[in-house]
Structure 1
Amino acid sequence: MLDDSTPITLPSPLLHRIDSFARSLLQPVQAFDFSTPRFEAALVPPESVSWRIFKNPVSVFVGGVAAVLLEFGEPRVRDGIWQHSSFRTDPLTRLQRTGLAAMVTVYGARSKAQAMIAGVVRRHDRVAGHTREGEPYHANDPELLDWVQATAGFGFTEAYHAYVRPLSGEERASLLVESVPIARLYGAVGAPSSQAELDALFEAMRSRLVPSPVVLEFLEIMKRAPILPAPARPAQTVLLKAAIAILPPWIRRRLGLGPDWIVNPIERTFVRATAKAGDRLVLPSSPAVQSCRRLRLPDDYLYRSQDRSTR
């Protein structure tokens, strides 16, 4: 059971500024209306564990970075992304599109989410080539799609567990089960649906994951990208370290993520405090709140305990 937490109450001008910043960070390129069509269900229900963990912007960012690092360890996924995306030239826009896609799959109305995913699958069908090692790849290869889905689930789950509040075994199991229908829409028909399957996939990837200059180049880009306002930009490095900290130790070693990327106790405390606050801050324009409004649920529905939210 997720712990109860009381939503943070902020003065209206401050809440408006934070809300505006969060909205511009997520949707400056294209507008997506999470509040329509009225009453239309999402791909996963509002009482799901997914709806609760994806509302947290801090753990979603940390988990997303962890997922990308895991993906970049697999050469075919790495070059499929690096050779066919704008990460190097326009990292912020690329991150925004990826983040928005994650929000749409969890919170968006079913018809809109299915249309978006179908568009992604069509675009991926044109992504093919050879890795720098000479191995062929195709973005819609089910094996690669399974790994991408597994890394995303791992990242978001472990980030929330480490920095917001511990998740029980039952909640972890629910997250995996909730992700399966979405994974299949993307073509990841073999994505893990249980902890045992996830563990087995990570074990099977031991022989596939390799170090690459792309991993460190990605981290350096993320340190400098204008994600946070300039005065707060040093915090991006701390969040990157927090993402690396939730990777299995053998993967950190395999990817060459050494002492410079170790999160110290003060930094860990900062990330936890920030993530816990993010879990209690009800932002009116957020996908979570707008989707609750679409279903005529209270704005703070996801910020109550599960027991209270059903009353």
Structure 2
Amino acid sequence: MLDLAVLPLPRPVHDRLDSVAEGFLADAGIRFDFTSPPGEPALVPPDSVSWRIFKNQVALFIGGVAAVLLELGEPKVRDGVWHHTTFRTEPLKRLQRTGLAAMVTVYGARSRAEQMIGGVVRAHDRVTGITSEGEPYHANDPVLLDWVQATAGFGFMEAYHSYVRPLSPMERESLFAEAVPAARLYGATGAPSSEAEWNRLLESMRERLAPSPVIFEFLDIMKRVDALPRVANPVQVALVKAAVELLPPWVAARLGIGTEYRLSTRERIVVGLAAKAADKLLLRSSPPVQACRRLGLPDDYLYRRSR
């Protein structure tokens, strides 16, 4: 069987998909030019594992949902997210902004990524409150920041590993190491820098994670939000289930998530096909391609490397 590095698409099909993907990020209300300043490196280099993984939008969606589930399991993070963001009222815009932030962190020029992260840190400094359980929280608490950064890294890594292709132990370690510079800028100075550190952090949260109606409200929103064209809603529901299946079994049990979120055989096949196809989908307006152009690299640079 011929293994193509890039999916061959007729020009009208490419242009339509490119327009939809470009519009998703543009609708976040923030314009970001990944081609500028010419030649300026990102926080991580283009030959990194991160650059290859973050180009896959299906894996990012799955991994992002898994990460948020872990975050919402921590009561302080849960109430900080749910009461101080627009997830409930404007979930699509929130997804768009989160997606853009992830793209800027990995592919944006270093100076501009630092500027964006600085704005996020300043905004978080105003987020304080008391949880439903009576605990005070502050969004820039380093302990909470470490957990948020760790869950994001875990989610993206496991989604790619499970649904696109298995990552080697060396690649998994590289992902943790590559995330450290951005994590420090966010204030997560104790975020895991290795898989062993992640495993220890996760185990330390065993008694901290707690069930909440917020978790199921989030899952319901993610199944219904217009992240994909309406005709593809069954696929979106399967992607949400795929995210739940990334959670360690004891975490899902701790959060009260049952077997209704288990993938059927057909759904598992669909998720795998979608994730693998996304890994070969080169869209010329996408952040990874635009970032390659900024550095004088060919449009298909990341796709050549992922063969």
TM-score range, shorter-chain basis? over 0.9
- 1:213-251 deviation per Cα after TM superposition (whole angstroms, max 9, x unaligned): 000000111111111111112221110000001110000
Question: Which residue of structure 2 lines up, in the alignment, with residue 270 of structure 1?
Answer: 270
Question: Which residue of structure 2 lines up, in the alignment, with residue 80 of structure 1?
Answer: 80
Q: Does the CA contact (< 8 Å) of 1:5 and 1:305 recur in 2?
A: no
Q: Does the CA contact (< 8 Å) of 2:129 and 2:136 recur in 1?
A: yes
Q: Does the CA contact (< 8 Å) of 2:235 and 2:270 recur in 1?
A: no
Amino acid at match of 2:105: T
Percent identity (aligned): 65
CA separation of 1:211 and 1:15: change in aligned 2, threshold 3 A: same
- 1:123-162 deviation per Cα after TM superposition (whole angstroms, max 9, x unaligned): 0000000111110000000000000000000000000000
- 1:261-297 deviation per Cα after TM superposition (whole angstroms, max 9, x unaligned): 1111111111110010000011001100000000010
CA distance in structure 1 between the partners assigned to 2:246 and 2:88 by the alignment: 24
Please list, as runs of the form range in 1=range in 2, the aligned pairs for 1:149-188 lying within 5 A after superposition: 149-188=149-188
CA distance in structure 2 between the partners assigned to 1:234 and 1:165 by the alignment: 23
* CA-atom RMSD in angstroms: 1.0
CA distance in structure 1 between the partners assigned to 2:208 and 2:174 by the alignment: 28
Please list, as runs of the form range in 1=range in 2, the aligned pairs for 1:110-189 lying within 5 A after superposition: 110-189=110-189
Amino acid at match of 1:16: D
Q: TM-score, normalised by structure 2?
A: 0.97
Q: TM-score, normalised by structure 1?
A: 0.96
Question: Which residue of structure 2 lines up, in the alignment, with residue 230 of structure 1?
Answer: 230
CA distance in structure 1 between the partners assigned to 2:218 and 2:120 by the alignment: 22
CA distance in structure 2 between the partners assigned to 1:5 and 1:35 by the alignment: 26
Amino acid at match of 2:67: A
SS at match of 2:84: coil
SS at match of 2:129: strand
Amino acid at match of 1:180: V
CA distance in structure 2 between the partners assigned to 1:26 and 1:213 by the alignment: 29
Question: Which residue of structure 2 lines up, in the alignment, with residue 109 of structure 1?
Answer: 109
CA distance in structure 1 between the partners assigned to 2:175 and 2:39 by the alignment: 23
- 1:36-73 deviation per Cα after TM superposition (whole angstroms, max 9, x unaligned): 11000000000000000000000001000000000000
Amino acid at match of 2:23: S
Amino acid at match of 1:289: V
After TM superposition, the structure 1 stretch with the greater mean CA deviation from structure 2, 98-107 or 259-268, is: 259-268
CA distance in structure 1 between the partners assigned to 2:63 and 2:26 by the alignment: 19
> Cα offset for 1:5?
5.0
CA distance in structure 2 between the partners assigned to 1:304 and 1:119 by the alignment: 35
After TM superposition, the structure 1 stretch with the greater mean CA deviation from structure 2, 25-34 or 68-77, is: 25-34
CA distance in structure 1 between the partners assigned to 2:166 and 2:82 by the alignment: 33
CA distance in structure 2 between the partners assigned to 1:227 and 1:188 by the alignment: 29
SS at match of 1:78: helix
Q: How many residue pairs are counted as aligned between the two chains?
A: 304
CA distance in structure 2 between the partners assigned to 1:149 and 1:32 by the alignment: 23
SS at match of 1:77: helix
SS at match of 2:206: helix
Amino acid at match of 2:82: W
Q: Does the CA contact (< 8 Å) of 2:223 and 2:237 recur in 1?
A: yes
1:10 equivalenced with 2:9 (yes/no):
yes
After TM superposition, the structure 1 stretch with the greater mean CA deviation from structure 2, 23-32 or 164-173, is: 23-32
Amino acid at match of 2:182: I
Q: Does the CA contact (< 8 Å) of 1:34 and 1:107 recur in 2?
A: yes
CA distance in structure 2 between the partners assigned to 1:265 and 1:150 by the alignment: 30
Stretches of structure 2 lacking an aligned partner (at least 5 in a row): none
> Cα offset for 1:26?
2.0
